[in-house]
Amino acid sequence: MSGHSKWATIKHKKAATDAKRGKLFAKLIKAVEVAAREGGGDIGGNPTLATMVQKARDASVPTDNIERAIKRGTGELQGESYEAASYEGYGPAGVAVMVDVLTSNRNRTLADVRSVFTRNGSNLGEPGSVGWMFSKQGVIILGPGADEEKVLEVALEAGADDVITDDGETLEIRTAPGSLRPVREALESAGLAVESAEVTMIPSTTVPLEKGDAVKVLRMIDALEDLEDVQDVYSNFDISEEVLAEVG
């Protein structure tokens, strides 16, 4: 798995089952609710809410669920109060791991996250212990068959920072977080199909993994993502195509 697009592909495959989809829906709805609470329910005036709503739509979350989440966030409907928190540490093979959560009980969530780290022979670190290795960026992935020249022209004109070709199968567009939405809209207006678009954390350096360590790292990240309060998990591991095929 060399590059963000491979990891996105793995996550989409993992989210394919009904159980995974149900958990994904719950996480996305929570993110929509928090975005509305923090910045208001007007999608046009709340870029974070617009991004979360689009992400929920991309995952086929029903419109009614999204609208109710916005109303809970604005106080029109009763809802639970969530707060954001992040945890950092080192996983198997020394890979850096960052965990973003939305929680109504920080003590419970910290205990759950720490338990996953401990069970996988890893340790939580202090705030900032690995965060310095990552930068927040918008990432848009286009599937096979996209016209690279057209993508370059449209994306860069709309404000993208870079376009990366991944093994000839996908195109990955990097943007500043605030440019993700306009770049996506420009691509779609030009008739280019977007597979995924999200604001994520990109590592400045990566750790290559062999099969044994790859299995351990993916198992740990899967366990973290299964936690109810966890929204996103970021890491700086790098798995080659050959090793990824072995891991299955």
**Which CATH number do you get for residue 151?**
3.30.70.980
Same domain, 199 and 161: yes
Same domain, 98 and 141: no
Its pTM stands at 0.84
Same domain, 148 and 178: yes
Same domain, 109 and 150: no
- CATH number of the domain that residue 25 is part of: 1.10.10.200
| pLDDT for 241 | 76
* Residue 172 to residue 141: CA distance in whole angstroms: 5
pLDDT surpassing 60 at residue 236: yes
Same domain, 87 and 194: no
Domain extent for 236: 83-132+206-247
pLDDT surpassing 70 at residue 5: no
Same domain, 142 and 109: no
| pLDDT for 2 | 33
For every residue of the chain, which 3-state class applies, written as one string?
CCCHHHHHHHHHHHCCCHHHHHHHHHHHHHHHHHHHHHHCCCHHHCHHHHHHHHHHHHCCCCHHHHHHHHHHHHCCCCCCCCEEEEEEEECHHHCEEEEEEEECCHHHHHHHHHHHHHHCCCEECCCCCCHHHEEEEEEEEECCCCCHHHHHHHHHHHCCCEEEEECCCEEEEEECHHHHHHHHHHHHHCCCCEEEEEEEEEECCCEEECHHHHHHHHHHHHHHHHCCCEEEEEECEEECHHHHHHHC
Q: Mean per-residue pLDDT for 60-84? A: 91
Same domain, 49 and 92: no
Q: Dihedral (C-alpha) 131, 137, 142, 143: value to the nearest 10 degrees?
A: 0
If phi > 0 it is left, if psi is from -120 to 50 it is alpha, else beta; for residue 167 that is left
Same domain, 100 and 211: yes
Same domain, 139 and 126: no
* Residue 152 to residue 137: CA distance in whole angstroms: 18
Number of domains in the chain: 3
Pick 118 or 248 by higher pLDDT. 118
Q: Mean per-residue pLDDT for 117-136? A: 94
Task: Output phi, psi for 145, to 5 deg.
Answer: 95, -5
The pLDDT tens digits for 9-67 are 455 445 445 556 778 899 999 999 999 999 999 998 998 999 999 999 988 899 999 99
* Helix axes of 47-58 and 63-74: crossing angle, nearest 10 degrees: 150
In the listed set 51, 74, 97, which residue is the last one of a domain according to the structure? 74
| pLDDT for 17 | 54
In the listed set 74, 102, 122, which residue is the last one of a domain according to the structure? 74
Percent of the chain with pLDDT over 90: 64
| pLDDT for 8 | 46
Residue reference for tokens 């958990």: 23
Same domain, 219 and 117: yes
What confidence tier does 242 reach under pLDDT thresholds 50, 70, 90? confident
Same domain, 32 and 58: yes
The pLDDT tens digits for 179-196 are 999 999 999 999 998 888
Same domain, 122 and 225: yes
In the listed set 37, 55, 74, which residue is the last one of a domain according to the structure? 74
| pLDDT for 12 | 45
pLDDT surpassing 90 at residue 144: no
Pick 11 or 160 by higher pLDDT. 160
Q: Mean per-residue pLDDT for 79-99? A: 92
* Residue 130 to residue 122: CA distance in whole angstroms: 14
Average pLDDT score, the chain = 87
